Structure 1
């Protein structure tokens, strides 16, 4: 089975999407991507603690990368079970989250950029939060993808990332 990861550019250009957003495919058992998602989930509790907003809303600049089930056609034709995509404008209601797609999906049927989706904590694969300097914490999966990009393109993206994925003092 393969995973379909949405582009990394959402954090560089918040809430702007171009039709046909690029994706990067990984095998579901890719060791680097699996380790990145595991590390992101290890700091997820700290992320959630530090992004609580008023009421059920999370910090307005917080985003999560979420695994959503692809259509039956995508599963059959491409052997892709989930598309992992950025979600913004996140609200929490007990064990369920809702938010808006921050990329144009490729294998989620009629869903498109800006559509509302619901998901559980188990579906969260990564998170993003800007630091005081504007550079992005989180993006564990993005950091893996960068190694597969042309060096000059990856260098440009690295400028937007914080030096470490999690702020100092966050518990793993």
Structure 2
């Protein structure tokens, strides 16, 4: 069975160095709840992009994308990208976590990706985290301390009011 690794840290709240050892949670590629979360995140992606890109095209502070790499392999990886910017037909950004299944890639490395690879988004404002559809699915699988911390900062509605 093909599996993918998903990092849980909310890149918008943590410095890049803190994400290097981010916990990883494994989900099967066919996990219905995770696939539903990714579909919901992709539906709201245009709103997110319209509201989190600065005049220079680069993402504003507090905005990040969760991107799937190696989707065709036995074990793909879904990892946070902060910051990011459009480039050509896709995007470019910085790996915010230390990859576990991307040989030769490390936290802080620049990567290119397509919109089709985007699995989730995050945006922090007013002490809350918006988006994070996949993180919400992971909550029951996390240790109690992490679950408590994330539950306190995740917004009730994933999309900020007014978007």
Report the TM-score when normalising by structure 1: 0.86
Unaligned runs of at least 5 residues, structure 1: none
Aligned length: 162
Tell me which residue corresponds to 1:153. 146
Shift of 1:134: 2.3
- Residue 8 and residue 18 in structure 1: after superposition, are their counterparts in 2 closer, same or farther (change >3 A)? closer
Tell me the equivalent position of 1:30: 31
Residue 14 of structure 2 corresponds to which residue in structure 1? 13
| Cα separation, 1, equivalents of 2:124 and 2:153 | 9
Q: Tell whether the 8 Å contact from 1:17 to 1:113 is kept in structure 2 after alignment.
A: no
* Deviation at residue 20 of structure 1 after TM alignment: 4.4
Could you give the per-residue CA deviations for residues 105-148 of structure 1, whole angstroms, max 9, x where no partner exists?
A: 000001000000000110000001112x1211010000110011
Q: CA RMSD in A?
A: 1.9
C-alpha contact 1:66 1:85 (8 A) present in aligned 2: yes
Would the aligned equivalents of 2:12 and 2:82 in 1 still touch at CA under 8 Å? no
Q: CA deviation at 1:45?
A: 0.3
Q: Tell me what 1:107 maps to.
A: 101
For residues 109-128 of structure 1, the aligned pairs below 5 Å read 109-128=103-122
CA distance in 1, matches of 2:158, 2:57: 25
Greater C-alpha Rg: 1
- 1:59 aligned partner: 60
CA distance in 1, matches of 2:121, 2:20: 23
Regions of 4+ moved over 6 Å: none
The within-5 A match list for 1:59-78 is 59-69=60-70, 75=73
1:88 aligns with 2:89: no
SS of the residue corresponding to residue 167 of structure 1 reads coil
